[in-house]
Amino acid sequence: MIYRGLFSGFLESLYLIFDRKKISSAERVFLETYFPYFRRLPAPHKREFVHKLEQVLTLKKFVGRGELRQVTDEMKLLIGATLVMVTFGWKNFRLSYFHTFLIYPDDYYSTINQTYHRGEVNPRHGLIVLSWKSFVCGLTREDDGINLGIHEMAHALKLVHFILESGERGFDPESWRLYCEVRAGEMAKLSAAENSFFRSRAAADEHEFFAVMLENFFERPHEFFLHHEELYLIAFKLMRQDPRVWLVHRVLRG
């Protein structure tokens, strides 16, 4: 397993040296316009963001599924930017275990459990699957705490932490232990239909709770902090970033 990790790490380094994707100035303008997190970053962090996004676009595969014949550069930019946003707290963390994005034009039918899906992660094959329509919907409604891209990246992030051969272990163990304690109380509230900041989907299981929590962490950080300060501060330690810094409080904006 270690050998495999070392070998893929070596290949990744070669790609990044000899075949690195470069973000053009037009693509920077596109990100400024359509990716709010990037727009809000100060200049030095924007440079760091672009650097990380170039790595992600160089190393990940983007494959259209269903009726989606072509994955455009704009689609790759927005999906890649979501991965960079979620992992921005780490210096060098790209969810390498998940090497390919499969993108359907709309919600898609899963023959495995015979339901329609908006997205999923497949750790067995290293895939993150997204419905483009739902991804865009999550991005355009930027403050409702529902964002498919963040949701699926969160599932992937949590999984790589526990997959030994992923070679990437992101969470500080003590913060993770604290998180598990506090999560149990919040999930009990959700199950009892008591007032919770999180939508009911978070009650499904621990994976869904984490994904829904991160949707709110990035889209409604001030509200999250006001509702549940302890959990927000643990999430801040786990994720190594505080989105409140970039996002002016809506109350202050009037």
Contacts with Zn ion by CB under 5 A lie at: 211
Least Å distance, CB 212 to Zn ion, is 8
The dihedrals phi and psi of 104, each to the nearest 5 degrees, come to: -95, 150
For the range 174-180, what are the long-range contacts, defined as Cβ-Cβ under 8 Å and sequence gap of 24 or more? Answer: 175/234, 175/237, 175/238, 176/238, 178/234, 179/231, 179/234, 179/235, 179/238
Which amino acid is present at 87? T
Residues 60 and 100: beta-carbon distance below 8 Å: yes
Least Å distance, CB 123 to Zn ion, is 13
Cβ proximity to Zn ion: between 211 and 214 the closer is 211
Cβ proximity to Zn ion: between 103 and 211 the closer is 211
Distances (CA, A) of 114 to 103, 106, 129, 152, 203: 19, 16, 16, 20, 22
Least Å distance, CB 63 to Zn ion, is 21
Cβ proximity to Zn ion: between 79 and 211 the closer is 211
The dihedrals phi and psi of 120, each to the nearest 5 degrees, come to: -170, 165
Cβ proximity to Zn ion: between 128 and 211 the closer is 211
**Alpha-carbon gap, residue 91 to 93, rounded angstroms:** 6
Cβ proximity to Zn ion: between 119 and 243 the closer is 119
Count Cβ atoms within 10 A of the Cβ of residue 105 and give its class: 0-12 exposed, 13-18 middle, 19 or more buried.
Answer: middle
**Alpha-carbon gap, residue 99 to 91, rounded angstroms:** 19
Closest residue to bound Zn ion by CB = 211
**Alpha-carbon gap, residue 225 to 206, rounded angstroms:** 20
Cβ proximity to Zn ion: between 50 and 202 the closer is 202
Supply angle C-alpha 244, 78, 12, rounded to 5. Answer: 100
Cβ proximity to Zn ion: between 77 and 211 the closer is 211
